[in-house]
């Protein structure tokens, strides 16, 4: 996962990771663990993040989550 691009996308859309975690209805701990690469997101979590981050292009999804 490309943590820097993921964090950049989150901050550009939601201003903070905390705001993103509220939208996702996740704990801030879980969100930071995923964003920092300490926890791998499940397929459903990746799908939910793609929806929240307006990622619709498979190549863009691969770049964010499958580097």
| Domain boundaries of the chain, sorted by first residue | 3-65
Q: How confident is the model at residue 1 (pLDDT cuts 50, 70, 90)?
A: low
pLDDT at 4: 86
Ramachandran assignment for 2, one of left (phi > 0), alpha (psi -120 to 50 degrees), beta (any other): beta
pLDDT at 64 over 80: no
Could you tell me the CA-to-CA distances from 23 to 52, 59, 63, 64, 67 in Å, in that order?
8, 24, 22, 19, 25
For 2-48, the pLDDT digits (tens) are 788 899 999 999 999 999 999 999 999 999 999 999 999 998 998 89
- Within its chain, how far is the Cα of 25 from the centroid? 13
């Amino acid at each position: 996962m490309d943590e820097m691009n993921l964090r950049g996308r989150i901050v550009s859309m939601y201003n903070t990771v905390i705001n993103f975690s509220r939208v996702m209805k996740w704990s801030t701990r879980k969100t930071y663990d995923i964003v920092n690469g300490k926890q791998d997101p499940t397929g459903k979590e990746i799908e939910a993040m793609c929806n929240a981050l307006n990622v619709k292009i498979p190549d863009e999804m691969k770049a964010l989550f499958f580097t």
